[in-house]
Amino acid sequence: MQAVILAAGEGTRMRPLTESVPKPMLPVADRPLVAHTASMAADAGAEELVLVVGYEADRVRDHFGTEFEGVPVSYAVQEEQLGTAHAAAAAREHLDGEFVVLNGDDLYDAAAIGPLFEGGPAVGAYEVEDPRPYGVFSIEGDRVTGVVEKPDDPPSNRVNVGAYRFPAEAADWLTEVELSERGEYEITDVLERVVDAYDVRAVPVERWLGVGRPWELLEANEWKLAELDRRVAGDVHETADLRGDVVVEQGATVDAGVVVEGPALVRSGAELGPNSYVRGATLLAEDTHVGNAVEVKNSVVMRGTNVPHLSYVGDSVLGEGANLGAGTNVANLRHDDQPVEMTVKGERVSTGRRKFGVVVGPGAKTAINTSLNAGVVLSAGATTTPGETVLRDR
């Protein structure tokens, strides 16, 4: 059984975090996002992983190499991002039997992936309260009889989560899909053809998260950090206080007076300076620096980023190589208690979160005593001036 994992997307809704990192390689707890799905496929019995790559493909190749968790890895290139069927079709030359297709930017509960591999054809189905924004299945018993995209009158509350087991001939069907009205080649067209020809099992998915926007990256880390068990291998000062499920990797340093409340992960090369405070589901990635009297709460701080001293960062995502000047403070709550809004691809949308801070792009730098309003996005390389209050994206 081969597993095709779609990891070619540019991740435009995740900008500016994906300026230099492909969305599937954004950090989720102790590994990139796509590695969680790849690991589940390996555990479920995949004999080969075929990773479909495109944007910043070398980042994916460098991480996975030619073998991942004992499973051979090969690569297919999607030169243009023209839809899910187009992506899976890029793997056609690698396929020689029944195969599974999984989205590389989604998280699934492990209990669902195993049954997907046990027999096919099959498709992952997840229950939602309002299925109208999704692809929705028509279901009889445990059999899928159809799928309709974003219906006004949904036939069920079971939606498509991009997890499929296809028969061998579907590899050719992927190349025969016609362009949709959205201008893409849709893998659901292949699924409909499979449904017409076979009995297709609906595999229940108890937990699922599509990670397409920055606040969903926060949610993904909240999920996966909560699964870590306490482990302390780094250099921790005797006066530091590590509470709950905290992981300090070898090569990390935790200085005097530091308090870390789990779930939290301090990766190799990270430094926590004196009297800093880390709480909530927080990831401090490799070679990050949190300085004296800094508080970081429920945030993702990506590789090589510095929050040196006397600052507060809450419910935020800081991109690679960013630097917050002394006294930088992040607002993460609206006074009217409404969900914080953020601009995604030019449109102001709700994050659905009462508490959400900022998104700081790779290499951005704030000056001393900068204040950042809730929902602000700093683009890659952006700067602020001393004492500035930033109310709008830049």
- Please identify every residue annotated as catalytic: 309
Distance between CA atoms of 101 and 99, rounded to whole angstroms? 7
Q: Which two tokens stand for residue 340?
A: 């914080």
- Across 29-63, b (16+ Cβ under 10 Å) vs e yields bbebbbbbbbbbbbebebebbbbbbbbbbebbeeb
Residue 192: its H or E element: helix 187-197
Cβ(5)–Cβ(34) below 8 Å = yes
- Burial class for 343, CB neighbours closer than 10 Å (0-12, 13-18, 19+): middle
**Residue whose token pair is 């709700």:** 350
Q: What is the C-alpha separation between 325 and 369, in angstroms, rounded?
A: 7
Q: How far is CA 336 from CA 211, 215, 310, 339, in A?
A: 27, 20, 27, 9
- Look up residue 370 and give its two tokens: 């900068």
Instruction: Answer yes or no: are the C-beta atoms of 17 and 362 closer than 8 Å.
Output: yes
Alpha helices in 55-186 (DSSP H): 57-64, 84-89, 110-118, 170-173
Longest dimension (CA), the chain: 66
